[in-house]
């Protein structure tokens, strides 16, 4: 099948690589000539485990191509995916200008019957706008070409996106025609050897499914963090409570780890967008609003613990930071708790020594570029030299079982502030390290 994917960012690049891996002829299109040049030279602009090898393999096999020119791949295209960004507007809504710009370009360039797929996370009703935009361009051309607009939301976890795409829990397809359902099922059939996990529905329900899924997961995170904060007040241990409730199969263990809050490109943006969608339809989404409010406050809990221990004025204090990315196995720092915690400490006069296996370039170039009182180091232990405390903010594997004796030796004060609850309190107590975590006094 000939596939065109417009937008070669995270979703577009992963999707295109995986479709090519299964034998489709895929062309990824992007308006950024520098990005396309890098991709054609084998330079992958994002970090995602397994992605680089898959891209290079399929480029070599001539099943994956990159270009800035949309016209040529659309000539023989069967399915065109819109995978451009939907940045958050000032009012919290998803900005559709890139999506509709692509739709306009498709209407101008398509040469045959086409399935147009919304892969980007978009508000309910976007497919109607995409359809109207394409049809308007076709009418201006005097063309009677037929097309379908499909909603096919992505459910990729950063750090595990390749596995998620190659072995999906489900593939949601929203369409209004049997032709569209048939072609989409053919496209995804190689990914299901034993069990068909394709779920078909109407377009608006598919658009809503993506928002509902992310809102549910974000709700579990904020709920557990609120329970953790209550645990601290009453003398309970949030980690033990987590085990107690997670053993209930109706609840499960996923997404109920106390921590410094959620970040990334999806949850914060989608929660705001869903709240805005509800408001535009005369509904006050109280629970979803509270999820966001709890998370915003949670991002500063570790900073508050540091201030309580060292005082309001942090001039002269140095803190070693382990982890900048919003989660492990990615270099993504969008809305990462580390941003808020570091800025709060620096605002009070502290100096930061930061280490992350992948995200330091992102911090330097974008998210912490205006923060002056910060230095970056090449290893986790370098961050601890002459530091007053260790602050753990991302649960990278290399942080799971460190040399605690070495940590104690390097730090001025044997203190760990853990925003991800990685360690055993009793183990640290035995070697004389003071341990502050989420959800326990």
| pLDDT tier at 93, thresholds 50, 70, 90 | confident
- What percentage of the chain reaches a pLDDT higher than 90? 96
| pLDDT for 437 | 96
Residue 389 Cα to chain centre, angstroms: 29
Q: Tokens standing for 158?
A: 């950063």
The CA distance from 239 to 439, in Å, is 7
| pLDDT tier at 88, thresholds 50, 70, 90 | confident
- Do β-strands 415-418 and 389-392 pair in parallel, antiparallel, or remain unpaired? parallel
Helix (H) / strand (E) containing 44 = none
| pLDDT tier at 30, thresholds 50, 70, 90 | very high
| pLDDT for 441 | 82
Q: What are phi and psi of 343, to 5 degrees?
A: -65, -35
| pLDDT for 243 | 97
* Cβ-based burial of 95 (10 A; exposed 0-12, middle 13-18, buried ≥19): middle
Average pLDDT, the chain: 96
The CA distance from 271 to 259, in Å, is 19
Please, what is the Cα angle at 91 between 277 and 258, to 5 degrees? Answer: 75
Say if residue 195's pLDDT is above 90: no
| pLDDT tens column, 120-178 | 999 999 999 999 999 999 999 999 999 999 999 999 999 999 999 999 999 999 999 99
The CA distance from 441 to 427, in Å, is 16
Q: Write the CB contacts of 275 (distance below 8 Å, at least 6 apart in sequence).
A: 92, 285, 288, 289, 292
- What percentage of the chain reaches a pLDDT higher than 70? 100
| pLDDT for 377 | 98
| pLDDT for 92 | 84
- 266 tagged catalytic: yes
The CA distance from 172 to 409, in Å, is 53
| pLDDT for 91 | 84
CA-closest candidate to residue 224, choices 381, 441, 434, 439: 439
Please, what is the Cα angle at 278 between 262 and 255, to 5 degrees? Answer: 25
The CA distance from 119 to 51, in Å, is 19
| pLDDT tier at 89, thresholds 50, 70, 90 | confident
| pLDDT tier at 392, thresholds 50, 70, 90 | very high
Say if residue 194's pLDDT is above 80: no
Q: Tokens standing for 78?
A: 């069967």
Length of the chain, please? Answer: 441
């Amino acid at each position: 099948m000939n596939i065109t994917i417009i937008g070669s960012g995270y979703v577009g690049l992963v999707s295109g690589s995986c479709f090519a891996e299964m034998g489709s002829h895929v062309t990824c299109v992007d308006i950024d000539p520098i990005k396309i040049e890098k991709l054609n030279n084998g330079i992958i602009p994002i970090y995602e485990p397994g992605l680089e090898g898959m891209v290079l393999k399929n480029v070599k096999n001539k099943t994956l191509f990159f270009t800035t020119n949309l016209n040529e791949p659309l000539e023989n295209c069967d399915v065109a995916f819109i995978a451009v960004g939907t940045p958050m507007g000032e009012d919290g809504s998803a900005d559709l200008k890139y999506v509709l710009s692509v739709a306009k370009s498709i209407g101008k360039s398509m040469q045959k019957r086409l399935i147009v797929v919304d892969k980007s996370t978009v508000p309910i009703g976007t497919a109607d706008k995409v359809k109207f935009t394409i049809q308007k361009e076709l009418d201006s051309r005097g063309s009677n070409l037929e097309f379908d607009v499909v909603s096919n939301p992505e459910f990729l976890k950063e750090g595990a996106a390749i596995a998620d795409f190659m072995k999906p829990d489900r593939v949601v397809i929203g369409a209004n025609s049997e032709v569209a359902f048939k072609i989409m099922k053919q496209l995804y059939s190689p990914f299901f050897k034993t069990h068909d996990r394709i779920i078909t529905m109407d377009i608006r329900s598919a658009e809503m499914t993506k928002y509902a899924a992310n809102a549910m997961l974000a709700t579990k995170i904020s709920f557990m963090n609120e329970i953790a904060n209550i645990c601290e007040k009453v003398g309970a241990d949030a980690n033990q409570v987590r085990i107690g409730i997670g053993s209930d199969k109706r609840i499960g263990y996923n997404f109920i780890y106390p921590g410094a809050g959620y970040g990334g490109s999806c949850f914060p943006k989608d929660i705001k967008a869903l709240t805005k969608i509800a408001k535009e339809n005369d509904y006050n989404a109280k629970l979803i609003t509270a999820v966001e409010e709890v998370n915003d406050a949670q991002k500063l809990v570790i900073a508050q613990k540091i201030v309580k221990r060292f005082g309001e004025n942090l001039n002269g204090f140095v803190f070693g930071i382990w982890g900048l990315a919003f989660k492990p196995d990615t270099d993504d720092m969008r809305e990462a708790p580390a941003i808020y915690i570091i800025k709060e400490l620096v605002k009070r006069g502290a100096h930061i020594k930061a280490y992350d296996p992948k995200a330091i370039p992102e911090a330097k170039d974008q998210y912490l570029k205006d923060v002056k009182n910060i230095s970056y180091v090449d290893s986790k232990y370098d961050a601890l030299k002459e530091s007053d405390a260790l602050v753990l903010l991302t649960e990278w594997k290399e942080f799971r079982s460190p040399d605690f004796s070495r940590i104690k030796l390097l730090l001025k004060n044997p203190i760990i502030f853990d925003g991800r609850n990685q360690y055993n309190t009793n183990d640290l107590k035995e070697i004389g390290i003071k341990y502050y975590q989420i959800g326990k006094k």
